Structure 1
Amino acid sequence: MTTPSPSRSGADRCPGLLTPFVSADGAMVRLRIPGGRVDASTLYAISSLAGRFGDPEVTLTSRGSLQLRGLPDPLPRELITAIDDLRLVPSGPHDKARNIVADPHAGLDPLVTALDEGLLGDPGLAELPGRFLLAVTSPGGPVLAEPWDVAIVASPRSDVTSRHPRGPSGPAARTSATVHVVADGRAVTVPRDEAAETALDVARSFLAARPDTRTWNLRDLPEAARADLLPGSLPFDVVAGDPPAPGPVGADLVALVPLGLLTPAMVEGLQGSAADGIAPQPEGSGQRLAVTPWRSIVVPGAAARAEELATAGFVTAPDSPWTVLTACAGAPACARTTTPTRDLARAAAPLIDPAGSPVHVIGCERACGHPARPHTIALNPRTAADVVAAQLEKA
């Protein structure tokens, strides 16, 4: 049974509790975008806030979420209120418990919503560490390659109900489906409407077994503690597919964002015309987009606009070097390094082989923002040639 989400009115709203992270180039705020689902009108508002208060480029993260960087410290009250009004941080206590990643298939949206509502409806789950990751995915979905802790594995809604020519209830008879809840290589099978609560029960069990605050993930627990997380479970073979490549997928478009930096020009490109339903409008009435953990945006119905969005700065074809080239924030955004990782990645891009090994450019051994898939690293490169050499060494 899904617990209702908490009220968002009056005293329940906590705009003063938004927690920024301070870096060399200003404060940074992590926004909460469950499963990467976001209205285009909300994305437009986020971009506008970025331009008004800090770095105009909105950062897409490896967890399918968004960050605002280069903000004043302390954060202006106007910015905090605007973020709260957009419901991008639902409450102060849940500022860290934000991590739900999902395959971009729209048929999984109801499960994402149920999981998010259940998470927010339980104050105790606000104690989950920021690195704890909940996933919603189809069987063999690419999200299964991410470092999740608990996953709901389900066929998208459009695939799990079927109409029979003649059935016990006539021509409109439907079949229902069960789904898997997976943790630590084991799974239970439950009715679809119980999946979210079952997954959150695993999270509660994790918190009960957690020995200290530095135990961030299920895999950090002792083996004996992990054995009791999912009662009645059976071994489950986790097989992950490849992330969607840039370009048209049916009527939709996978638009890759180079280096995960969503520019104002890109957001303007996403607006399209009023007929596309992407122009700024009241919350909830705009087109639903999916921000993926692979720093791309799935734009419904935009396959025919691939060339237009490529002109705006997106990658809309699979033969781009940006499909295999990523970088951490680097200098000057990060105080841990003096290496301008993004600048070096941009310089190296024309020389990178799109068919070669993925390469991640980093300024220190923390390797922030690295992809989950196998890759090589270019640590503190001095030139673009060093980045290219890192890819060649892996070949």
Structure 2
Amino acid sequence: MLAAVSTPPLVPSSQATAASRDRGDACPGALRLHAADDGALARIRVPGGVLRAGQARTLARAARELGDGELHLTSRGNVQLRGLEADCGAELASRLEAAGLLPSSRHERVRNVVASPLSGLDGRGFADVRPWLRALDALICASETAARLSGRFLFALDDGRGDVAGLGADVTLLAGPEGGASLRVGGSDCLAVVSAEDAPRAALLAAEVFLEVGAGHAWRVTELSCTVDELTDEVVRRLRTRKIAVAPGGSPTWRPSPGVVTGPDGTTSLSVLAPLGRLTTAQWTELTATASGELRLTPWRGVILPTTPGDRLPALSAVGLITAPDSPWLGIGACVGRPGCARSRADVRADAAAALTTGGDLPAYWSGCERRCGRPHGDHVDVVATPDDGYGYRISVVRGGRVRDTTTTDNPSGLVATLAAARTHDQ
């Protein structure tokens, strides 16, 4: 079984340093299970979060028959199954392969692609990124080089609205108003503009250049010893060598709200969120029964049901899904916590539920230890269980990658007021 990967405490971006990865990437996958306190864990990559209804039913059956009966959504729009028996790997792999969820066993952990979940549905954005998604996934699975990417390397396909472009991906394609795509590497500004047709090839090439420059010692672009500018200069040079035309490049952030989404032609889709990213099989069954043929998982632990009538929303609300934009659950996230994780100092999910408050623009993320698994990339309130015996949390406001304000409390009733004040922090 895998050893847990240690994540360092939150560090201001100005103090971040390159990391040297001298051992293999132990990120879990569908074929490489991770031993957790509540059993084995499998992480199934779902590029762009797009699932056919039949594939969603396969995942529900696997959760119910092989695991703890729940499906856990990740911050990359993937699905985790927990509470698995250690010897169920072959059975799980057989089910996933039959459902088309394992197109390549060598690439299954590197198919990390997020995409604008409402692309092509609501009239926003400059392009429908689904053709990019299909093409990029096929290119990744056909590339021997790409198989060497770490399970943490991330691609983002943004249709121009700026939602997934702000997730800190290693390679980002951002659709533009003239039909092309801006290519970004790491946290850089646009390094080049390529045609829509060439965009998936350009994204894969950038990842392959990263592997060459990193020489196996970096899992993410932020860990490279060279500067991002040096990497992007080499990417542009390779693009031109491959006869991919590039033009010099010159962000808003927006994410789906729960509720009914209406497209320019009047067609409706539904947007819901899973409380703390955890879905019961009953909730998943209702989603798959409601879906018109496709589900799109979002990086914000939600689900989009394309072309679905608005009158189906009450049924989804009745099973406990978040369907209203004023829900107190909006913006609240947490790691798995106790009892599923031995490192966690607290049952953070239960504590988060007990401390729900309305209002405040900053999302709040609860972590059981300093690893902060699954924490959001942008501005947020960082809620971390303290190492002291008994109840205690450290609440920090994080803006622009820097900790702006920190308060520690060991009083459950005082935590609610402290958290509410932090979420409305205006500095």
TM range (shorter): 0.7 to 0.9
- 1:197 matched to 2:204? The reply is no
- 1:346 matched to 2:348? The reply is no
CA distance in 1, matches of 2:336, 2:284: 21
1:219 is matched with 222
Equivalent of 1:57 in 70, 76, 82: 70
Equivalent of 1:360 in 357, 361, 365: 365
1:338, CA displacement in angstroms? 3.3
Tell me the SS of whatever aligns to 1:42. Answer: helix
* TM-score normalised by the chain length of structure 2: 0.76
Equivalent of 1:36 in 46, 49, 54: 49
1:266, CA displacement in angstroms? 1.1
1:114 is matched with 135
Deviation per CA, 1:117-154, whole angstroms, max 9, x where unpaired?
00001121010111111111112321011011111222
1:308 is matched with 315
CA distance in 1, matches of 2:335, 2:113: 21
Equivalent of 1:270 in 275, 284, 287: 287
User: Which sits farther off after the overlay, 367-376 or 352-361?
Assistant: 352-361
CA distance in 2, matches of 1:300, 1:17: 26
Deviation per CA, 1:87-122, whole angstroms, max 9, x where unpaired?
323333213212100001142211100010000011
Normalized per residue, the structure richer in helix is: 1
1:320 is matched with 327
CA distance in 2, matches of 1:96, 1:268: 26
Structure 2: which amino acid aligns with 1:208?
A: E
- 1:247 matched to 2:253? The reply is no
Closer/same/farther in 2, CA of residues 141 and 358 from structure 1, 3 Å limit: same
Closer/same/farther in 2, CA of residues 391 and 90 from structure 1, 3 Å limit: farther
1:181 is matched with 183
Tell me the SS of whatever aligns to 1:373. Answer: coil
Q: Is the 8 A contact 1:377 1:390 kept in 2?
A: no
Tell me the SS of whatever aligns to 2:194. Answer: strand
Closer/same/farther in 2, CA of residues 120 and 340 from structure 1, 3 Å limit: same
Gaps of 5+ in 2: 1-28, 121-127, 241-245, 263-267, 392-410
2:212 is matched with 208
1:348, CA displacement in angstroms? 1.9
1:140 is matched with 161
2:374 is matched with 369
CA distance in 1, matches of 2:377, 2:414: 22
Tell me the SS of whatever aligns to 1:19. Answer: coil
Structure 2: which amino acid aligns with 1:216?
A: W
Q: Is the 8 A contact 1:143 1:240 kept in 2?
A: no
- The one of the two structures with greater contact order (alpha-carbon pairs below 8 A, sep at least 6) is 1
Gaps of 5+ in 1: 1-15, 161-176, 279-285
- 1:259 matched to 2:276? The reply is yes
- Report how many aligned residue pairs link the two structures: 346
Closer/same/farther in 2, CA of residues 144 and 76 from structure 1, 3 Å limit: closer
CA distance in 2, matches of 1:393, 1:33: 34
Closer/same/farther in 2, CA of residues 386 and 200 from structure 1, 3 Å limit: farther
* TM-score normalised by the chain length of structure 1: 0.82
Deviation per CA, 1:201-233, whole angstroms, max 9, x where unpaired?
1111101100443x1222322113443223376
2:10 is matched with none
CA distance in 1, matches of 2:369, 2:30: 31
Tell me the SS of whatever aligns to 1:186. Answer: coil
CA distance in 2, matches of 1:306, 1:17: 32
1:76, CA displacement in angstroms? 4.6
CA distance in 2, matches of 1:50, 1:359: 28
Deviation per CA, 1:320-342, whole angstroms, max 9, x where unpaired?
11112111110111111231111
Q: Is the 8 A contact 2:71 2:279 kept in 1?
A: yes
CA distance in 1, matches of 2:30, 2:63: 19
Tell me the SS of whatever aligns to 2:236. Answer: coil
Structure 1: which amino acid aligns with 2:141?
A: L
Q: Identity of aligned pairs, percent?
A: 32
RMSD: 2.3
Q: Is the 8 A contact 1:54 1:72 kept in 2?
A: yes
Equivalent of 1:380 in 359, 362, 385: 385
Structure 2: which amino acid aligns with 1:392?
A: A
Structure 2: which amino acid aligns with 1:293?
A: P
1:75 is matched with 88
Q: Is the 8 A contact 1:359 1:378 kept in 2?
A: yes
CA distance in 2, matches of 1:346, 1:259: 9
Q: Is the 8 A contact 1:246 1:315 kept in 2?
A: yes
Q: Is the 8 A contact 1:57 1:264 kept in 2?
A: yes
